[in-house]
Structure 1
Amino acid sequence: MNSALKASARRTQTDRRLQSESELLRAAAELIALRGVAAATFENIGLRAGYSRGLVTQRFGSKQGLIEALIARLQARMEALLDARHLDALDGLEAVLGFVDIFLSNLAEDGEMRAYFVLMAGAVADVSELRAPFAAAHKDVEVRLEALFLRGQAQGVIRAGLNADAAALMVGALLLGLSTQLLVDPGMDLEPIRETSLAALRASFAA
């Protein structure tokens, strides 16, 4: 087989692997969002995605591996949404508000985001070692938001006396609280809450 054919075969194999992983993760998220964490067995995930249980084990190895893959998938999708909004081109205050807007605009309609918070709630309630990946993901959000607050202060659009780290934690806690509330009350109308949150945050942080 010549080098071009070998490269094409490798690309095809990689494409198949990425496709199967994506379909397995989507199936896992759907099961968790619809039926809870207990329903997301490797056998059920494989059946829903049209693959074998063995492939799920091969791809993720363990429940923690699956959860870490789901978190990475969600983070990548959020990054794509944030990049599409061009937050880096906005001043610090507008970037913070843009982050909140994107998160809340997608929260009600995104089944994978719902699955993420179902998993997180279970890990916290069970005092499970699976809390660690969630803690790391939330720390990443805190660091990102803190950087936006500091940028806004340097630009003069966010109050200079504001504690940037505390403000980042407060915004993260707001998003976490609303996400949890949506699990308790799936029929909650997020649109007026989104508008009120953005107005309140602007009034609180603006210079």
Structure 2
Amino acid sequence: MGQAMRRTQAERSDESERRLLDATARVVAEHGVSAATFDAIGRSAGYSRGLATQKFGSKQGLIEALISDLHDQQEAKLAAYHLDQRPGLEAVLEYVDLYLRHLGDSPASRAYFMLLAGSVADASDLRAAFERSHERVKARLVSLIRRGQAGGGLRPELDADSAALMVGSLLLGVSVQWLVDPQVDLDAIRRTSLQTLKLALAAPAGK
């Protein structure tokens, strides 16, 4: 019975953390970074300010946890498409396609880029958390690109690290533009991006 109680407490802890992270993303997306106080987040999640403080210690701790969580959510979505089992070029293009298709689906994406913009503008310590998140994306893309080069689908002369950074920067630029102008035609940008990347990355026929 004690073990069942401990499991229940762990489940409650997980649920409260999930609700606090979701509330943080919601508050940031709807009201801006400065509005994400422990009071506002606690109210949105249905908890007290004290629980948010207890869970994350500080606002920076909370935001760092949110950044990591948003990245994990993105990776979980991508994992369902088994990109690592597809040919390299196809996997890279599918990664870009999925990213741009789902960019505007939830407040989480908007919150992420609002926080990113704020951390760069303020030269805050949160930049390190975003750097870690972006390095994880780069590592995934480098792996896909190198596999494509080994399989013959991607240009062998490309520097994989630079190519991955180029793809990631394209996605980052589109995301920031979407943040500035939520009415931007993401579908048209997605199609153009895929066509451009295919021309830039694909190995010439017969090579």
TM bracket, shorter-chain basis = over 0.9
Of the three residues 14, 31, 34, the one matched with 1:35 is 31
Matched, 1:181 2:177: yes
C-alpha distance in 2 between matches for 1:33 and 1:166: 32
Residue equivalent to 2:200 = 204
Of the three residues 61, 64, 72, the one matched with 2:60 is 64
Whichever residue aligns with residue 78 of structure 1, its letter is: Q
C-alpha distance in 2 between matches for 1:6 and 1:108: 44
Matched, 1:97 2:98: no
Superposition pairs of residues 153-172 of structure 1, within 5 angstroms: 153-172=149-168
- What TM-score do the two structures reach when normalised by structure 1? 0.96
Residue equivalent to 1:8 = 4
Would the aligned equivalents of 2:84 and 2:144 in 1 still touch at CA under 8 Å? no
C-alpha distance in 2 between matches for 1:37 and 1:166: 32
Residue equivalent to 2:143 = 147
- What TM-score do the two structures reach when normalised by structure 2? 0.96
C-alpha distance in 2 between matches for 1:98 and 1:81: 12
C-alpha distance in 1 between matches for 2:101 and 2:63: 24
C-alpha distance in 2 between matches for 1:97 and 1:111: 24
C-alpha distance in 2 between matches for 1:108 and 1:162: 31
TM-superposed CA distance for 1:41, in Å, is 0.2
Residue equivalent to 2:133 = 137
Deviations 1:147-177 (A, max 9, x none): 1111100000001111111110000100110
Segments of 5+ residues of structure 1 without an aligned counterpart are none
Whichever residue aligns with residue 77 of structure 1, its letter is: Q
Residue equivalent to 2:122 = 126
C-alpha distance in 2 between matches for 1:62 and 1:191: 39
C-alpha distance in 2 between matches for 1:77 and 1:204: 29
Deviations 1:65-89 (A, max 9, x none): 1112112211221121111111011
Number of equivalences: 203
Runs of 4+ in structure 1 over 3 Å off:
none
Of the three residues 98, 104, 107, the one matched with 2:103 is 107
Superposition pairs of residues 18-29 of structure 1, within 5 angstroms: 18-29=14-25
Pairwise CA RMSD of aligned residues?
Answer: 0.9
